[in-house]
Chains A and B, each alone.
Chain A
Amino acid sequence: MPKLSTGAEIVFKCLEDQKVEYIFGYPGGAVLPIYDELKNHSSLKHILVRHEQGAGHAAEGYARSSGKPGVVLVTSGPGATNVVTALTDAYMDSIPLVCISGQVPTHLIGTDAFQECDTTGITRPCTKHNWLVKDIKDLSKIIHKAFEVATTGRPGPVLVDIPKDIQFQKTTYSKYIKKKKLNGKKSNSFNKSDIDELIKLMSNANKPIFYTGGGVINSGPKASDLLRELVYLTGFPITSTLQGLGSFPGDDAQFLGMLGMHGTYEANNAMHDCDLMINIGARFDDRITGKIDEFSPKSKKVHIDIDPSSINKNVKVELPIVGDVQDVISSIIKKIKKTKPNFAKSNRQKISKWWEKIQKWRQKKSLNYINSTETIKPQYAVQRLYELTKNKDTYITTEVGQHQMWAAQHYKFDKPNRWMTSGGLGTMGYGLPAAVGVQVAHPNKLVIDIAGEASVLMTMQEMSTAVQYSLPIKIFILNNEYMGMVRQWQELLHDKNYSESYTAALPDFVKLAEAYGCVGIRATTPEELDDKIIEMVNTDRPVIFDCLVDKQENCFPMIPSGKPHNQMLLGPKDQKENKITRKGKILV
């Protein structure tokens, strides 16, 4: 007779087959059988978080920085509802997560039992797919399928809801057989003529630009290597979305910086004036395009994306290429090398005027700010942090707000998977638990969460997790006592009515650090900043760094509402002339 395994055992066998090393989770009534089984599986390490949202974000950080799917284990009811924010976040930013949730026993489903909720109903719109396991015989098939769905095509979160009685029932375990196709949904559907067409457009372009996004990162490190090769081969300028940072070196001469609402002057103007836009793995998000009608009016647009539904969703494109970024770029490079070996040389002349124009925009130095000797400017803090950590292969996570934009603007990434930020959903409180996940994946690397004091308080409890597992994450708080981005918008758009954006009664972050059993450091003047940062970097324990920065600083450049996309607000001086109209205020 074949060996019978319980549902709980099958869960672990599946995870082992999928080569899962870490689970981020929190126990509870409906997952107790699974937790009971944990002791028999030494290859799997469980990271106990302090809140299920933290488990989700930690798994996201783990996945984003390692390229492997993140695994989350939560209980029914509140366990599942708490993880919804993280699932939605992963869905928006295309991060592969497999969430296993407990459910009340099958016979109690639908009776409003204790800690029951309609988990698959609640998570349906924020997962790629989810399953309620009703029969023990389906369990292993479903879990393997869950990994397949999460990691193939455009990655994303999935959820498997397992009732408690199923976890106890027994059946034989069927091994995982890797299939190539997923329900007939193949990822590459481009052909040679698409590539030929693209190369034709590229050779005819006078004002080309590459606009790259998170898809390059998701395609794997090889895609970033190929992207560099392609960009050098063509000599074209390149700009990146928030999620795409790191796929191309941030300090390279061909890189124009980030684009979009808080992107650089040169990147946004180049996007507006170009005649050929090659979108690689980005999705024409509204923070990028601004007003669709006036978005890059004169350009031919090419969109390379693995997800056919991303194409023509927001912006109509002339040439869609549906495929995995890595495969598409590699075909482009091969074709160019074969048919136009001197592409860069012959092209240089043609696009030289374009580069001259870009250089003029660059001279605006749109990321500049007025530094101070008395107070720490937040931009200065990020710049110093970058200078003092750039040689250490540092991993950066962020929360959401001004600090996030300053980090994106001033921290220059030169490798993929080093930058973890909540872009699509914009989840305050993402950075700290994400740093936990990143540190779990890379125990010997320097992991810093560039944070705001408001965001970080949303998931501060995960410091306890960091301490428990000796994860030496560094929480670098740019503390201005305000919800900075809210305050900025109120200043610019709501007549300086700072409604509820000031946080009175903030905790003493240094004492808070000590209370958690980690190290607290505070910097108050620009003079001492470098020494304190070095002290933080050299501390082999978790650190909360309270960096007291200018309270009134705004994040520029900014595309203000009421202005066309190519007219940016560059700094405090620029502000008066660019008054925002009443109508503009409601429409941001």
Chain B
Amino acid sequence: MAKSKSAYSVPGKKGKLDTHIIVVWVDNESGVLARVVGLFSGRGYNIESLAVAEVDSKLSISRITIVTTGTPQVIEQIKLQLKKLVPVHKVADFKREDKKVIFKEMALFKFVGNNNRRQKALNACKKYDAVILDNTNKSCVIQITALRREIDKMSINLKKFGLISISRTGAVAMTRGSEVFK
């Protein structure tokens, strides 16, 4: 890019992009997800995946897990902005490479085809804790839990075994060991 001569609004150098998993504990009230997601879209940050559910019904706390990519500065800004939201209790941030954290996604695969092909599909899924949720003489639904990239790969490789429909969740995360994030 040619060096711009403007004194204003010149995009600075782009830093290295990292994938982060951001976990947010929020009050489970209406509109709270819109606040969190709106903060991302309003500032032009990207959400790769999202998982949200209530984790404490007594205190009505929901846990939102967001996978996002950004420069270290953007990630820092996302966290600080999230912390400013009134219904947000705490914010944790993990790098995808972090060894101390477990990440998992779940996927449902529907296969249509003869017995032989379905068996092959099941075998291919086995290393990802495959569970058969539905089985007919023409089709089956298999559930797997794995990492994002593993599911990405599977959803391409399994096409040949009659994979016709995929449904998958966003990532959820938890630290290893006895510690919890405070």
Contacts and interface: CB of A to CB of B under 8 A. Distances in A.
A309 B80 contact: yes
B86 A124 contact: no
Contacts of B14: none
Contact of A124 (B9, B12, B35): B35
Interface string A550-588: 000000000111111100000000000000010110111
A184 B89 contact: yes
Interface stretch (A166-174, A285-293, A349-357, A378-386): A285-293
A587 B9 contact: yes
A207 interface: no
Contacts, number: 81
Contact of B7 (A124, A291, A311): A291
A562 B4 CA distance: 8
A89 B76 CA distance: 25
Given A120-B31, A121-B34, A313-B77, A308 B9 contact: no
B182 to A, nearest CB: 11
Interface residue SS majority, chain A: loop
B42 interface: yes
A121 B42 CA distance: 13
A121 to B, nearest CB: 7
Contact of B86 (A129, A132, A586): A129
A286 B80 CA distance: 20
B117 interface: no
A293 B12 contact: yes
Contacts of A311: 80
A569 to B, nearest CB: 11
Contact of A561 (B7, B35, B81): B7
A522 interface: no
A530 to B, nearest CB: 38
A149 interface: yes
B6 A588 contact: yes
A377 interface: no
Contacts of B85: 129
A565 B8 CA distance: 9
B38 A309 contact: no
Given A290-B7, A583-B4, A586-B6, 20 more contacts: A121-B34, A125-B38, A128-B86, A183-B89, A184-B89, A286-B8, A291-B7, A291-B8, A291-B10, A292-B12, A309-B80, A312-B73, A312-B76, A561-B5, A562-B7, A563-B7, A583-B2, A584-B5, A584-B7, A588-B9
Interface of A: 120-121, 124-125, 128-129, 132, 134, 149, 153, 183-185, 286, 290-293, 307-309, 311-313, 316, 559-565, 581, 583-584, 586-588
13 contacts: A124-B34, A132-B30, A290-B7, A290-B8, A291-B6, A307-B84, A309-B77, A311-B80, A312-B76, A563-B5, A565-B7, A583-B6, A586-B6
